[in-house]
């Protein structure tokens, strides 16, 4: 299998190097081919996402993506659209050794990735500006189907249909239509403002949240704050043919080049990639090795330790090799 690796800018390069170092300890039929993208690429090549990199992503079995800076909209948003990565998946889980609001948080936010206000249909008017919010039945159906397929017990639809009666009204309607095909899974719906509160007051009550693009973007960052911040937040972007895995954090130019970036989110994103490709055992190996390192405090300064990025990666790699 071919993995397209796009390190990007800033700490994206550092956490990517650390993650590949760990993955190389696994006996897997994976080959890594690197592509350029991001701010530095824009300066050098005149394009933030060169055609060669886009072609590489389309022809690969999965994409492992680091982080980019100001050119994010021209890179990651374009990749999501070009590869039709309709489902953004954000696990929210408390790990040992990490300060969390509760220790029993283990939920997943599934966000529709292709439309809503992020369709980019905007215009200036005489009074100011306006944007068009696009919600289609097809997009609602496939994101809700995805959410029910990965749920263990319950799926919660998050919307604002009491105000946005047509757009969010359609989303809620389709959600319950899809729910009829999964009688073993509990289905409920919650207003987005209430969910913003419930994530703080009772996050342990939720299994899978499914929502539209803008709400999911906001709620998933809020949820990351419950379990240690963006440095521990992985994500997957899943389509019918392609997939892309990336940490949620940005390129962090303030610490780039210092070798102290926390690689956890990128490592967990690679765990999601392994499992998506069918390598469940290897995904478990890497996650369990990371858990041991977190528990022992062999971590980067932002997590209270004193290790460099690659030193933390080496500790994880040692556990992977021992457990093989």
As a whole number of angstroms, the distance between CA 120 and CA 123 comes to: 9
Which one of 55, 59, 103, 193 is the catalytic residue?
193
Of 93, 217, 298, 319, which residue is the catalytic one?
A: 217
CA atoms of 157 and 187, how far apart (whole Å)? 8
Q: Are 110 and 210 in contact (CB under 8 A)?
A: yes
Given the residues 13, 93, 160, 298, the one annotated as active site: 160
Say how many C-beta atoms besides its own lie within 10 A of residue 149's C-beta. Answer: 12
The continuous run of DSSP H or E covering 167 comes out as: helix 167-179
Question: Which of the residues 74, 84, 106, 221 is marked catalytic?
Answer: 221
Q: What are the φ/ψ torsions at residue 207 (nearest 5 degrees)?
A: -110, -70
Say which of 118, 189, 215, 319 is annotated catalytic: 118
Q: Which two tokens stand for residue 293?
A: 């390192």
Closest to 109 in 3D by CA, of 221, 10, 186: 221
Q: Would you give the distance in Å from CA 99 to the centre of its chain?
A: 21
Active site annotation includes 302: no
Could you give the angle at which helices 213-224 and 192-201 cross, rounded to 10 degrees? 10
196 CB contacts (<8 Å, ≥6 apart)?
218, 219, 222
Chain centre distance of CA 280: 18
CA distance 86 to 239: 5
**Number of other CB atoms surrounding residue 74 within 10 Å:** 17
221 a catalytic residue: yes
- The yes-or-no answer on residue 217 being catalytic is yes
118 is a catalytic site residue: yes
Distance between CA atoms of residues 198 and 184, nearest Å: 24
Cα Rg of the chain, angstroms: 20
Residues catalogued as catalytic: 118, 160, 193, 217, 221
């Amino acid at each position: 299998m071919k993995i397209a690796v796009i390190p990007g800018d800033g700490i994206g390069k550092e956490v990517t190097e650390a993650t590949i170092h760990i993955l190389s300890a696994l006996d897997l039929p994976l080959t890594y081919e690197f592509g350029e993208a991001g701010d530095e690429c824009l300066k050098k090549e005149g394009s933030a996402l060169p055609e060669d990199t886009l072609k590489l992503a389309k022809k690969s079995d999965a994409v492992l993506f680091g982080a980019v800076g100001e050119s994010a909209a021209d890179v990651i948003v374009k990749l999501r659209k070009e590869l039709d990565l309709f489902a953004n998946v954000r696990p929210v889980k408390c790990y040992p050794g990490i300060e969390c609001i509760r220790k029993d948080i283990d939920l997943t936010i599934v966000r529709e990735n292709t439309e809503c206000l992020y369709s980019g249909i905007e215009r200036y008017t005489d009074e100011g500006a306006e944007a068009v919010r696009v919600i289609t039945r097809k997009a609602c159906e496939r994101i809700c189907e995805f959410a029910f397929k990965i749920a263990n017990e319950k799926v919660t639809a998050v919307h604002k249909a009491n105000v946005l009666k047509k757009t969010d009204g359609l989303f809620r309607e389709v959600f319950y239509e899809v729910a009829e095909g999964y009688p073993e899974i509990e289905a409920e719906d919650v207003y987005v403002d209430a969910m913003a509160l419930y994530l703080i007051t009772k996050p342990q009550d939720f299994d899978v949240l499914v929502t539209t693009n803008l709400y999911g973007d906001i709620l998933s960052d809020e949820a990351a704050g419950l379990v240690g911040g963006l440095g521990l937040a992985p994500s997957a972007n899943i389509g019918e043919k392609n997939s892309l895995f990336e940490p949620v954090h940005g390129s962090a130019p303030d610490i780039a080049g210092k070798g102290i970036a926390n690689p956890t989110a990128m490592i967990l994103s690679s765990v999601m990639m392994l499992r998506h490709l069918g390598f469940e055992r290897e995904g478990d190996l890497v996650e369990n090795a990371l858990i041991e390192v977190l528990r022992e405090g062999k971590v980067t300064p932002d997590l209270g330790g004193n290790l460099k990025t690659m030193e933390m990666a080496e500790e994880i790699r040692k556990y992977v090799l021992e457990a093989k």
